[in-house]
Amino acid sequence: MIKRTLGKAGLILALGAMAACASTPEEANTASDYETVAPTTTARTEPVGPEPGTLEDFQQSAGDRVFFGYNQYNLTNEAQGTLSRQAAWLKEFPEVRLRLVGNADERGTREYNLALGARRANAAKSYLVGLGIDPSRITTISYGKERPIDPRSTPDAWAKNRNATTMLVSVGS
């Protein structure tokens, strides 16, 4: 068990290193590094890959975040691609329920950003539902600007913090 966990961690590190090598410095701070980390679906069938149906598997197969423009909640092509992969994965694991968390950058008031985060989470949810995911599997939450993933006050950090993050809340046995 310990060995398997180590093996998994080793693979994630390796993939991360590959992604870092493949990325230009500019790309490293954008959404694209989340995409480049994701292996093809065949990776999931490899014995050394993340256990199918786990969060690690989800993160690598589909990507767990989509990003938005400033004060925007429309889904970019890239975001739609990520959500399509999420939908495909979710169809494979119908017992998994998810929480979609909407986040905003620090360039706005608390109250407006809470509302904006709710819009973003729901935009992502609607897209998944449109691809056939049962809405009863999905709850949405907004954290507004209160839970940044990048603590810096830079345009790069703000771009990362404007996101909808998919969290798996229960994974079937």
Partner 1 sequence: MRTARRLRRSRLDPGVTMRRFLAGLLAGACAFAFTANASAQVEIDITRGRTDPLPIAVPSYVASGDTAELSTQITEVIEADLERSGLFAPIDERAFVEQISSINVRPRFADWRVIGARVLVTGEVEPLGDGRVQLNTRLWDVAGNQQLGSVAYKTPRENWRRAAHKVADFIYSNLTGEEGYFDTRIVFVSESGNKLDRTKRLMIMDQDGANPQALTDGLNYDVLTPRFSPSNQQITYLALFDNQPAQVYLFNIETGEQEALGTYRGMTFAPRFSPDGQSVLFSVEQNGNSDVAIMDLRTRRLRTLTDNPAIDTSPTMSPDGRQIAFASDRGGSQQIYVMDADGTNQRRITFGEGTYGTPVWSPRGDLIAFTRQYKSRFYIGVVRTDGTGERLLTESYLDEGPTWSPNGRVLMFHREERPGGPVGLYSVDLTGQNLRPVPTPGEASDPAWSPPLN
**Binder of partner 1 out of 38, 83, 116, 159 (CB under 8 A):** 116
Q: Is 98 helix (H, G, I), strand (E, B) or coil?
A: strand
Region from 27-35, 37-45, 62-70, 150-158 binding partner 1, contact rule CB under 8 A: 150-158
Q: Determine how β-strand 138-144 pairs with β-strand 97-103.
A: parallel
Contact between 143 and partner 1 per CB under 8 A: yes
Contact between 90 and partner 1 per CB under 8 A: no
CB of 136 to partner 1, least distance (A): 12
Contact between 172 and partner 1 per CB under 8 A: no
- Compare residues 54 and 71 and give the one whose CB is closer to partner 1: 71
Q: How far apart are alpha carbons 5 and 105 in whole angstroms?
A: 34
Q: How far apart are alpha carbons 143 and 21 in whole angstroms?
A: 33
Element (H, E) at 161: helix 155-161
Q: How far apart are alpha carbons 159 and 73 in whole angstroms?
A: 13
Contact yes or no for 66/163 (Cβ under 8 A): yes
Q: How far apart are alpha carbons 55 and 58 in whole angstroms?
A: 5
Place of tokens 């810096």: 152
- Compare residues 11 and 96 and give the one whose CB is closer to partner 1: 96
**Binder of partner 1 out of 26, 42, 47, 151 (CB under 8 A):** 151
Q: Which of residues 62-81 bind partner 1 (CB under 8 A)?
A: 71, 73
Contact between 119 and partner 1 per CB under 8 A: yes
Contact between 103 and partner 1 per CB under 8 A: no
Contact between 15 and partner 1 per CB under 8 A: no
Of 70, 66, 86, which is closest to residue 78 (Cα–Cα)? 66
Contact between 112 and partner 1 per CB under 8 A: yes
Residues in contact with partner 1 by CB under 8 A are 71, 73, 99, 106-112, 114-116, 118-123, 125-126, 139-144, 146, 148-149, 151-154, 169
